[in-house]
Amino acid sequence: MTRCFIGIFLPEKARNEVIGIQNELKGLPIDCKFVEPENLHICLSFLGDVDDEKIEEIKQKLAGIGSSVVKFKAIAHKLKLIPTERYIRVIALDVFDEQKILVVLSKNIREQIGGDAKPPHITLCRVKNITNKSLFVEKVKDLKIDVDEFTVDKICLIKSELRRQGPVYSALSEASLP
């Protein structure tokens, strides 16, 4: 069994801009676990534990999905408190593209491959505790989100190995978008 998800790794420039937002969050009254810079991604579908015999089939289906979508521009445009502002477990960035290709990709992956798909987002951190929630929410709303538009040119089947120091992600396959 291999723990997997399907996602999009961020290009270097966008990743560095997202790291800047994470650094801003570090100055707020929050105890959290930040996503490591090399692990920043847009998740399209979490597959969980997959039988190793099914990996090749998933790679083929993903290649077919990728070949049907032309590369496109996306942007991370606002902070998202998940599940709600009153009970914050995850802080993420909403990801948007004008043609809604990410939504279509996520839907096609869910229908053809499966998994648990959420609206496209980039997880910044998982929250353990917020010492002053009202101050935190006020400060979060003032944060400047400065991530330039970036090109999405491939989707990946990603292996997630859970280790004591944190997860390690590696691409099992990449489906290039024409």
31-75 tens-digit pLDDT = 999 999 999 999 899 999 999 999 999 999 999 999 999 999 999
Distances (CA, A) of 29 to 24, 97, 146: 11, 32, 21
CATH topology of domain 2-176: Cyclic Phosphodiesterase; Chain: A, (3.90.1140)
Q: For residues 151 and 64, what is the distance between their CA atoms, to the nearest angstrom?
A: 20
* Cα(73)–Cα(99) distance, integer angstroms: 9
Nearest Cα to 77, choosing from 12, 149, 176?
149
15, 41, 80, 159: which one is catalytic?
41
Q: Any idea how long the chain is?
A: 178
Instruction: In whole angstroms, give the CA distance from residue 155 to residue 158.
Output: 9
pLDDT of residue 144: 82
pLDDT of 117 strictly over 80: no
Q: Choosing from 121, 127, 130, 158, which is the catalytic residue?
A: 121
Per-residue pLDDT for 112 more than 80?
Answer: yes
In the annotation, is 41 catalytic? yes
Catalytic (active site) residue 77:
no
- Name the average pLDDT for the chain: 92
Give me the amino acid identity at 67.
Answer: S
Angle 41-83-17 (CA atoms, 0-180°, nearest 5)? Answer: 30
